[in-house]
Amino acid sequence: MNDPKPKIYADDVPYFQTGQSSADTWIDKAKREIASVGGKVQAEAFGADATGRSAFMLAFTIGGDPFKVTWPVLPSRTGKDKAAKIQAATALYHDVKARVVSAKFLGMRGAFLTYLVLINGQTASEMTSSEIANSMPKFMLNSGAER
């Protein structure tokens, strides 16, 4: 018998309550990283659905290719929702920064492949992982950068 996947809490993941910067500060830093490689942010959003799931979204283009990252806010076991939101923004920034560095070795498409928006409007990662799509607020999927 398969056990259901255990719930992951923000409290148990890196960047939880590790700094004083706001979520907006981390999102702005991520946008600067995108701009540093010639990218242009087309849209940004933060939202929550009726189930309480929430996420950040950045849609951007680099070299004419559309990309979109949707990053979930994990629930906090201890009810520290603000800390969980800051954690998600921090992790999004560090992921974007790592991909910018990778792009210097692998090229933009190679580094940002999972964020690439495909013709059907989904990102490459949404096409390959129902787990990812199921962890996001539904209204944040298939929106943002369009071809």
Residue 50, domain member (yes or no) = yes
Question: What is the C-alpha separation between 72 and 64, in angstroms, rounded?
Answer: 26
Task: Establish if 11 belongs to a structural domain.
Answer: no
pLDDT in tens, 87-145: 999 999 999 999 999 999 999 999 999 999 999 888 888 877 665 566 566 666 554 44
> CA-CA distance, 41 to 48, in Å (whole number)?
21
Q: Is residue 8 part of a domain?
A: no
CB 57 within 8 A of CB 143: yes
Per residue in 47-63, pLDDT (tens digit) is 998 988 999 999 999 99
Number of domains in the chain: 1
Domain holding 33, by residue range, is 19-140
- Please state the pTM of the whole predicted model: 0.85
